[in-house]
Amino acid sequence: YVYKENKFSYEYVVKLVSTLQRNIDTKVLVVDDSIVSRKILKNLLKQQLFDVVDVDSGEKALTLLQDLSGIRLLITDYNMPGMDGFELILRVREKFSREELAIIGLSNEGNESLTARFIKNGANDFLQKPVVHEEFLCRVNNTLDSLDMIKKLWELANLDYLTGIFNRRYFLSKLKELWGTESYQGVIISVAMLDIDFFKRVNDTHGHDIGDIVLKEFAHRLSNKFKQDCIVARLGGEEFVVAMPGVECDTATSLMEEFRESLLTLPFIIDDMQLDISSSIGLAVTEVGKSASMIEDLLKSADLALYRAKSEGRNKVCV
């Protein structure tokens, strides 16, 4: 409609549609002791298609945030009986970072230092009441745009672009994190490296696009099989890795045997073609310890075991 009326550019309309689409899936919590204020804010947010919940106190907001996950934006008044908006954000920030839950503070006090105090203590933005409607909505959308951008950056840095599972960078940083965690010291950890057999043939015979579909399906199956504490990642090409903290060698071996078998018993069917896909798997086991060089040794051992699985005929698990 706005486009047809020739009031806005095509780009503006595209941006508007994507903002509204984002907003439909965005839960916003409004905290204000004034019923009038709550009503105004709620109506404004609903115009922008947000999914809005409101409460009249900081205490209720905290309970709601604990019970109702998925809230992405908290809009809070400053002056409220009981817990004020300032205390509320301090409490909220103990649990939620600026990147997972945005906060916008509101106050009708003509106190300029309040703005800085709010932002320094975890608010993403701050507005004076009564809010200018247009400005309020711009700031709400801007704040959420930043959150979206941070999420996108995080995904670009940590997820594999083709398969959507974790990438090498994430895998290594997660292992390092584990090595640095007190409660993991001495815990057994198994690491499996998987390499698809004769994958080049898949590309050569069926084309690169079909090869890509195989990689996606393989990644999907692997991350479905190894959930919970396991870290599943694509190291690159047709090479994958699974870290299994708390899993002993015997268990890891049989889990990997199961996975290897399942590739044969549940064949890959793409475009009505059945492709025979198998994988060679190398396993290494150690105990999480103090020295970071152990990570390198662990991965090297898994790689050597994989190499053995290849040279002993492929479609095999070696430890």
Q: Which residues, numbered 219-248, are part of the site for ligand GH3 (CB under 6 A)? A: 237-238
**DSSP reduced 3-state for 74:** strand
In the complex with ligand GH3, the residue whose CB is nearer, 199 or 226, is 199
Question: Please, which of residues 227-246 interact with Mg ion by CB under 5 A?
Answer: 238-239
93 binds, among Mg ion, ligand GH3, none (CB under 5 to 8 A by kind): none
Which range binds ligand GH3 by CB under 6 A, 83-91, 205-213, 251-259, 301-309? Answer: 205-213
Q: DSSP class of residue 65?
A: H
Identity of the residue, 164 or 180, whose beta carbon is nearer to ligand GH3 in the bound complex: 164
- Compute CA distances 47 → 8, 9, 24, 163, whole Å: 19, 21, 11, 37
203 binds, among ligand GH3, Mg ion, none (CB under 5 to 8 A by kind): ligand GH3
One DSSP character per residue, 156-171 reads HHHB-TTT-SEEHHHH
Other beta carbons less than 10 A from residue 130's beta carbon: 11
- The alpha carbon of 62 is separated from its chain's Cα centroid by a whole number of angstroms, namely 23
| Part in contact with ligand GH3 (CB under 6 A); list of ranges 11-19, 116-124, 209-217, 298-306 | 209-217
125 binds ligand GH3 (CB under 6 A): no
Q: Residues binding ligand GH3: what is the number (CB under 6 A)?
A: 16
Which CB, 206 or 225, lies closer to ligand GH3?
A: 206
| Residue 73: alpha-carbon gap to chain centroid | 17
DSSP run (H or E) holding 274:
strand 273-275
Count, residues near Mg ion per rule CB under 5 A: 9
- In the complex, what is the shortest distance from the CB of residue 62 to ligand GH3, in angstroms, rounded to a whole number? 46
Q: Are 202 and 217 in contact (CB under 8 A)?
A: no
CA count, 13 A, side-chain hemisphere, 73 = 29
Stretch that binds ligand GH3, among 11-19, 78-86, 190-198, 262-270 (CB under 6 A): 190-198
Nearest to 247 by CA among 187, 180, 173, 179: 187
Closest to 279 in 3D by CA, of 257, 249, 250: 257
Mutual orientation of helices 112-120 and 85-93 as an angle, nearest 10°? 20
- The total of other beta-carbon atoms located within 10 Å of residue 228's CB is 7
Closest distance of CB 80 from Mg ion, Å: 5
257 in active site = no
Q: Which of ligand GH3, Mg ion, none sits in contact with 160, Cβ below 5 to 8 A by type?
A: none
Whole-number Å distance between alpha carbons of 31 and 64: 11
Instruction: Kindly name the residue from 112, 155, 182, 238 that is annotated as catalytic.
Output: 238
**Residue with the CB atom nearest ligand GH3 in the bound state:** 211
Instruction: To the nearest 10°, report the CA torsion of 109, 40, 71, 49.
Output: -140
Give the chain's end-to-end CA distance (angstroms, integer). 64
Among 171, 179, 199, 226, binds Mg ion (CB under 5 A): 199
Residue nearest to Mg ion (CB): 79
Does residue number 312 form part of the binding site for ligand GH3 (CB under 6 A)? no
x/- string (CB under 6 A) for ligand GH3, residues 157-176? Answer: -----x--------------
56 contributes a contact to Mg ion by CB under 5 A: no
Residue 221 tokens read as 């199956």
Residues identified as active-site: 238
* Site for Mg ion, rule CB under 5 A: 33, 77, 79-80, 195-196, 199, 238-239
* Site for ligand GH3, rule CB under 6 A: 162, 195-200, 203, 208, 211-212, 215, 237-238, 310, 314
